């Protein structure tokens, strides 16, 4: 064998080994055993220890009952069940909340979504009424105008966003002890209707400001005039096990644990498993082997 060819091959092996040794830290693996739960960012992550949203429950139903994309962070699933039940209790007699996709059981990419990969995202269809005010089941992902009205293509009927029940839902989620809301993606016009309604009810200024802060019309995707996309923030303990990003760390969210200053013994422990030392030894061994050819 040509030593030069072996050298090229050796270099390739070293690069591959270096990549392997560094690990893929957006997914759990034997090289990163501490990663678990919701891992990575919402558009590049995975999920372990997920919980499945039931097909139906008090105050809610799944939009796609047979879909396998109804798994999420257990905190999120519990908060959705609690919020829907709360709306049904405070405004009885209305149609249930229709809940769209969460994530796959183990996270990762699912059709129709750029995010929803780490169990922290969910699509919530709007509560709706007839123009006369009677609560009716959601017709699905229909696009609402700035006045809150939408025309249903299949029936040519009109429906209106049930602003009162919709605010009850968002209020329950914003004040839930189980989650910290990071974003509620929704178009500007419907946000304005919801905020005006909250103010008319005399809701606390801090709560209204929090709602205004997290409600956002995305600039890099659809307007979200047919549903609310809810994303929850990482809990402090989840950040330690791989949960990352997805938006700002709002001041009302629990702070993440401060990282303590590394001490000399920490550096010594880290140096014991330094991947660069492993790669250097491997390079030396491969070089010695190449000399034998």
Residue ranges and CATH numbers for the domains of the chain are 38-128+161-240 (3.30.1380.10)
Q: What are phi and psi of 18, to 5 degrees?
A: -65, -40
Of residues 27 and 80, the one with the higher pLDDT is 80
Residue 236 pLDDT grade (very low, low, confident, very high; cuts 50, 70, 90):
very high
**34 or 73, greater pLDDT:** 73
Amino acid 31: pLDDT: 64
Q: What is the pLDDT of residue 22?
A: 34
Global confidence as pTM: 0.79
Q: For residue 80, report the phi and psi dihedrals to the nearest 5 degrees.
A: -65, -45
Confidence label for 277 from pLDDT (cuts 50, 70 and 90): low
User: pLDDT: is 208 or 2 the higher one?
Assistant: 208
For residue 281, the number of C-alpha atoms closer than 13 Å in the C-beta half-sphere is 5
Task: Classify the phi-psi angles of 159: left when phi > 0, otherwise alpha if psi is within -120 to 50, otherwise beta.
Answer: beta
**pLDDT of the residue at 13:** 37
pLDDT at residue 219, rounded to an integer: 74
pLDDT digits (tens, 9 = 90+) for 101-140: 999 999 999 998 989 999 999 999 999 999 999 999 999 9
Kindly tell me if the per-residue pLDDT of 270 is higher than 90.
no
Query: Looking at residue 262, what DSSP letter applies?
Result: P
- Cα(32)–Cα(27) distance, integer angstroms: 8
pLDDT of residue 70: 98
Which class for 223: exposed (0-12), middle (13-18), buried (19 or more C-beta within 10 A)?
middle
Residue recorded with tokens 């009162």? 164
Average pLDDT over residues 67-78: 97
pLDDT over threshold 60, residue 2: no
DSSP states of 111-176: TT-SS--SS-EEEEPPPEE-TTS-EE---SS----TTSEEE-TTT--EEEE-HHHHHHHHHHHHT-
231, 182 in Cβ contact below 8 A? yes
pLDDT digits (tens, 9 = 90+) for 192-234: 999 999 999 999 999 999 999 999 998 777 779 999 999 999 9
Per-residue pLDDT at 46: 94
Highest mean pLDDT among 21-30, 60-69, 245-254: 60-69
How confident is the model at residue 286, as a pLDDT?
65
Whether pLDDT at 18 is above 60: no
Instruction: Write out the DSSP string of 15-44.
Output: HHHHHHHH--TTS-BTTBTT--SEEEETTE
């Amino acid at each position: 064998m040509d030593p030069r060819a072996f050298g090229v091959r050796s270099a390739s092996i070293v690069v591959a080994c270096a990549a392997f040794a560094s690990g893929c830290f957006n997914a759990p693996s034997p090289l990163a055993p501490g990663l678990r739960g919701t891992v990575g960012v919402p558009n590049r992550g995975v999920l372990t220890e997920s919980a499945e949203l039931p097909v139906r429950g008090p105050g809610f139903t799944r939009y796609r009952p047979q879909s396998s994309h109804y798994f999420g962070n257990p905190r999120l699933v519990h908060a959705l069940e609690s919020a829907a039940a709360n709306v049904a209790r405070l405004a009885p007699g209305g149609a249930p909340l229709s809940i769209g996709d969460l994530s796959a059981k183990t996270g990762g990419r699912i059709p129709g979504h750029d995010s929803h990969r780490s169990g922290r995202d969910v699509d919530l269809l709007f509560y709706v009424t007839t123009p006369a005010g009677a609560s009716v089941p959601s017709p699905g992902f229909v696009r609402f105008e700035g006045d809150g009205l939408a025309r249903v293509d299949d029936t040519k009927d009109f429906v209106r966003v049930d602003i009162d029940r919709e605010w009850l839902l968002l209020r329950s989620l914003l004040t839930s002890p189980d989650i910290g809301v990071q974003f509620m993606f929704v178009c500007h016009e419907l946000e304005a209707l919801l905020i005006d309604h909250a103010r008319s009810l005399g809701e606390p200024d801090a709560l209204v400001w929090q709602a205004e802060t997290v409600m956002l019309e995305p600039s890099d995707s659809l307007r979200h005039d047919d549903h609310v996309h809810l994303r929850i923030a990482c809990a402090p303990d989840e950040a330690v096990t791989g949960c990352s990003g997805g938006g700002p760390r709002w001041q009302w969210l629990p702070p993440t644990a401060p990282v303590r200053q590394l001490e000399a013994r920490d550096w010594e422990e880290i140096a014991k498993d330094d991947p660069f030392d492993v790669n250097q030894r491997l390079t030396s061994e491969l070089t010695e082997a190449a000399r034998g050819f």
